[in-house]
Chain A
């Protein structure tokens, strides 16, 4: 049944409901991996579905049917349903390709200009200081990765808090969090419902870096205060920062501070129900796309004149 192809398009709408619970309840590194994997899988599933629908519709056109060496008309779904679906798929895929390439290019350009700006500054170790009274700090991916921080931020923090900030940014670089953010961003452009996964993945990356900073400093309370102070100092200054460059002050800072102040250090109760639901969604999407594709393939083979038995 080609209607299975609709599953990967509908499942993503259920996932954002689960996303926030996942970040709250799970070890942030696990949450980061789980959410990003789910986002990528669901995005691919939705793209595969759209492509299959488009193909099924296109093969109804005589010209393309001849190209595909179909001798019988392809019969996988009633035309009244298939034609609008294929047309919508074509539109969706076009929009998707356009926004994907546009945002991808824009993000890369942002990264490159931030990189140039950081390279023009005196560097010590992995630190690049920008002389700006506006407080800001972020981890700039690249070879080698850099911590970019303004003098305004350095002056707003006590020495121990500066170390927390650096530990946080180093955790972003070591964990290669920019890849997760990039995946989340690209997935968000593949399916509108996946847009809501993006802040959850951002939050998971920040929480993971917070926990790493807390482990490095050995003082959760001080870490929480440092993150809070850095966020207060840098209110509204993230404008110049490239999207893929995670920073200590992105995401819902109060929630992150509260999580750090929780007495038990990140021994989160595993939330099996949420994990199972997330897995279920992803599996449904993948199965839907696969079943639909297999059905389509069989339909094409029959139309090419092969007997139904193979």
Chain B
């Protein structure tokens, strides 16, 4: 009514609205919850499509929740890079080998950082 041509809005604007809804919520949201918190009357399938597109770009992360996913906004750019690395890791069939190769090719500095992180995590 207020926005009769919602479905024809540019894809970028819809992505922006969905991301804003996720940030405003602050907690992981299912596609249905996101749909509820948008002012535009979007079909749930549209919201799901936008969310998975954002997930592919690494802008949002997701975890299993019931039959679908719960999405949350990625915190920062560094988290984004880490998420992309996880994507790559998940995509390969042999996770162990990839990890081993990855670590063996690290520079001395990176290795030091990794060691510190692991030690801090172990305490």
**Chain A residues with a Cβ under 8 A of chain B:** 120-127, 129, 131, 147, 149, 151, 154-155, 157-160, 162-163, 166, 170, 217-219
Main secondary structure of the interface of A (DSSP, over half): mixed
CB distance from A223 to the nearest CB of B (A): 11
The answer to whether A155 touches B26 (Cβ under 8 A) is yes
Contacts of A219 in B (CB 8 A): 2
User: A160 CA to B21 CA in the complex, in Å?
Assistant: 11
Docked-complex contact A131 and B38, CB < 8 angstroms: no
B residues within 8 A CB of A127? 15-16, 19-20
Question: Interface centre among B13, B58, B73, by most A CB within 10 Å?
Answer: B13
Give chain A residues whose Cβ lies under 8 Å from the Cβ of B38: 159
Q: How far is the CB of A20 from chain B (nearest CB, A)?
A: 33
Chain A residues with Cβ below 8 Å from B40 are: 163
Residues on B with C-beta less than 8 A from A166 are: 13, 16-17, 20
Residues of A within 8 A of B46 (CB): none
The yes or no answer to B70 lying at the interface (CB within 8 A) is no
Partner of A129, one of B12, B20, B57, B80: B20
Partner of A163, one of B12, B17, B23, B77: B17
- Number of A-B pairs whose CB atoms are under 8 Å? 82
Q: How far is the CA of A129 from the CA of B26 in the complex (A)?
A: 12
Q: How far is the CA of A81 from the CA of B55 in the complex (A)?
A: 73
A126 close to B20 (CB less than 8 A): no
Which residues 29-44 in B have Cβ within 8 Å of A in the complex?
A: 37-40
Determine if A125 and B11 form an interchain contact, defined as CB atoms under 8 angstroms apart.
yes
B3 located at the interface, meaning its Cβ lies under 8 Å from any Cβ of chain A in the complex: yes
New A-B pairs, 10, CB < 8 Å, besides A124-B18, A160-B2:
A121-B76, A121-B77, A123-B59, A126-B16, A129-B73, A151-B23, A155-B23, A159-B24, A162-B21, A163-B40
Contact between B19 and A122, CB atoms less than 8 A apart = yes
Interface string of B81-109 (1 = CB under 8 A from A): 00000000000000000000000000000
Say yes or no: is B49 at the interface (Cβ < 8 Å to chain A).
Answer: no
A165 and chain B: residue at smallest CB distance: B20
Q: How many whole Å from B71's CB to the nearest CB in chain A? A: 12
**Cα(A25)–Cα(B113), bound, Å:** 63
Q: List 21 A-B contacts (CB under 8 A).
A: A120-B77, A122-B59, A122-B74, A124-B12, A124-B15, A124-B16, A125-B15, A125-B16, A127-B16, A129-B19, A131-B76, A149-B20, A154-B20, A155-B23, A160-B39, A162-B24, A163-B39, A163-B40, A166-B16, A217-B2, A219-B2
Q: CA–CA, A234 to B77, complex, Å?
A: 25
Which residues in B have their C-beta under 8 angstroms from that of A163? 17, 39-40
Cβ-defined contact, A162 with B26, below 8 A: no
Query: In the docked arrangement, what's the CA distance between A129 and B16, Å?
Result: 9
B47 within 8 A of A: no
Distance between Cα atoms of A157 and B25 in the complex (Å): 11
- B38's nearest neighbour on chain A, judged by CB, is A159
A162 close to B19 (CB less than 8 A): no
* Nearest chain A CB to B19 CB, angstrom units: 4
- A154 and B24 in contact (CB under 8 A), knowing A122-B77, A123-B59, A163-B40? yes
Bound complex: CA A157 to CA B15 (Å): 18
* CB-CB contacts below 8 Å: B63-83 with A: 73-77, 80
A217 smallest CB distance to B (angstroms): 6
B54 to chain A, nearest CB (A): 6
Pairs A-B, 8 closest by C-beta atoms: A125-B12, A127-B16, A124-B19, A160-B39, A125-B15, A125-B16, A124-B15, A159-B39
